[in-house]
Structure 1
Amino acid sequence: MSEQLTIAMPKGRIFDEAAELLRQAGYRLPDAFDDSRKLIVEAPEANMKFFLAKPTDVPTYVEHGVADIGVAGKDVMLEDERDVYEVLDLNISACYLAVASLPGQTPSTIAPKVASKYPKTAAKYFKEQGEQVEVIKLNGSIELAPLVGLADRIVDIVSTGGTLRENGLVETEEVVHITSRLIVNPVSYRVKDEAIEEMVERLASVVEGDAE
């Protein structure tokens, strides 16, 4: 039997979708994991162990070798440069980063303020547009910033746009399309190359088949 693979994943939708991809790729995972509160989930028949972490922490577990493999959103990968290999676009949990503001909002200063959970990505985007802005990092409830005058615009993840509409904001620009990616620890890729390459090939076959 090949060595056990340890896999870091976010809880919730991404975990469910990634686990289903693994099942479609022929890995014998439980139909449902019994206790969603567990942070470590065993899948002995597939010879896998899952670590459930916050989305922004997944690349850290992989970079430091605690997990061989991870599933991370492209938004996280763009914001924080990590020493990991991005080996496959899983094409799950699709969404996008967008700029939004109040309707008819005009910048309050020469260097308007932009609030975001993704300050590096936001700053890079506006620089590429030739626009000078002041980026304010927030960790949650980004939509609140324009409503209380903290920022003129926001850069945030958009899935359906419902949260923006509920708070009276309108999307003005799309920054980048986001999907979840399979990432690998460089040392694990050398030490467990057969098991990892097999997983990448099997998942790629499923992903490419779904895309047809």
Structure 2
Amino acid sequence: MLTLALPKGRLAMESAEILLSKAWLSALPPEDSKELTYTSPDNRLRLLFVRSQDVCTYVEEGAADAGIVGWDIIKEGKFDLIAPIDLKIGACRLSLASFPDFDLFAKRSKVRVATKYPELTKEYFFSKGISCEVIKLYGSIELAPIVGLSDCIVDLVSTGGTLKANGLKEIEVILESTARLICNRSAFYSKQNELGTLIESLEN
């Protein structure tokens, strides 16, 4: 049996549907279930439902053999994992956003940036040669410039509707993100037959 960590929510169901279509699951987990694990009736696969930010940790530490998670989270955490497949689901982008009149290159001591992605944000501003102060938030990122907490934000964007509703504008895309299959390095070799079969089926 393979253990696979999935992020709770919409991406977990999309992932489960792919696994069902590839015969890795014989039935979908109940959508209204509060259980944090699900074992397929044929005992081929066990699913762990965890926060998206924790998927990589479960896989890297060996609590799960593999997982499905966004490229943005993988890049932010610099995890020691193998990511063999882009599943091309859960598409979104990590973007810089602010009010329409925001000037990234205006003369100021530092740009104050609110984000859940401090490492990718620092890398982006460093590449522009701009000094920044990162304000780490865990939700409602769009509120930060509205109340004067930050000059701009770096956050995930899907449709841009939330930005527009709050008077903000997408300025530049920092990273395109889709869901990837990730594997624990030890499991990639100790369970190479099972993981190899999983990888091959998801590629086709």
| TM bracket, shorter-chain basis | over 0.9
For the pair 1:41 / 2:38, whether they are aligned, the reply is: yes
Match of 2:146? Answer: 147
For structure 1, the residue ranges without an aligned partner over 5 or more in a row are 206-212
Note the 1:192-203 alignment, pairs <5 A.
Answer: 192-203=191-202
Q: Which amino acid aligns with 1:175?
A: I
2:70 to 57, 67, 73: 73
Q: Percent identity?
A: 42
Q: Which amino acid aligns with 1:47?
A: R
Q: Deviations over 1:102-149 (max 9, x none)?
A: 121345832111111001001101111222221111111110110011
User: 1:44 Cα deviation (Å)?
Assistant: 2.8
Q: Which amino acid aligns with 1:121?
A: L
Are the equivalent residues in 1 in contact too, given 2:98–2:168 (CA < 8 A)?
yes
Note the 1:1-212 alignment, pairs <5 A.
Answer: 4-33=1-30, 35-45=32-42, 47-106=44-103, 109-205=108-204
Q: Find the aligned partners of 1:198 and 1:149 in 2 and give their Cα distance.
A: 52
User: 1:34 Cα deviation (Å)?
Assistant: 5.6
Q: Which amino acid aligns with 1:190?
A: Y
Number of positions where the alignment pairs a residue of Structure 1 with one of Structure 2: 202
What value does the CA root-mean-square deviation take over the aligned residues? 1.5
Give the SS at the match of 2:42: helix
Are the equivalent residues in 1 in contact too, given 2:16–2:25 (CA < 8 A)?
no
Q: Find the aligned partners of 2:25 and 2:117 in 1 and give their Cα distance.
A: 36
Are the equivalent residues in 2 in contact too, given 1:19–1:29 (CA < 8 A)?
no
User: 1:31 Cα deviation (Å)?
Assistant: 4.0
Are the equivalent residues in 1 in contact too, given 2:24–2:44 (CA < 8 A)?
no
For structure 2, the residue ranges without an aligned partner over 5 or more in a row are none
Runs of 4+ in 1 over 2 A off after TM superposition: 26-29, 31-36, 105-110
Q: Find the aligned partners of 1:63 and 1:166 in 2 and give their Cα distance.
A: 38
Range with greater deviation from structure 2 (53-62 or 23-32) = 23-32
Q: Which amino acid aligns with 2:184?
A: N
User: 1:27 Cα deviation (Å)?
Assistant: 2.2
Q: Find the aligned partners of 2:192 and 2:30 in 1 and give their Cα distance.
A: 27
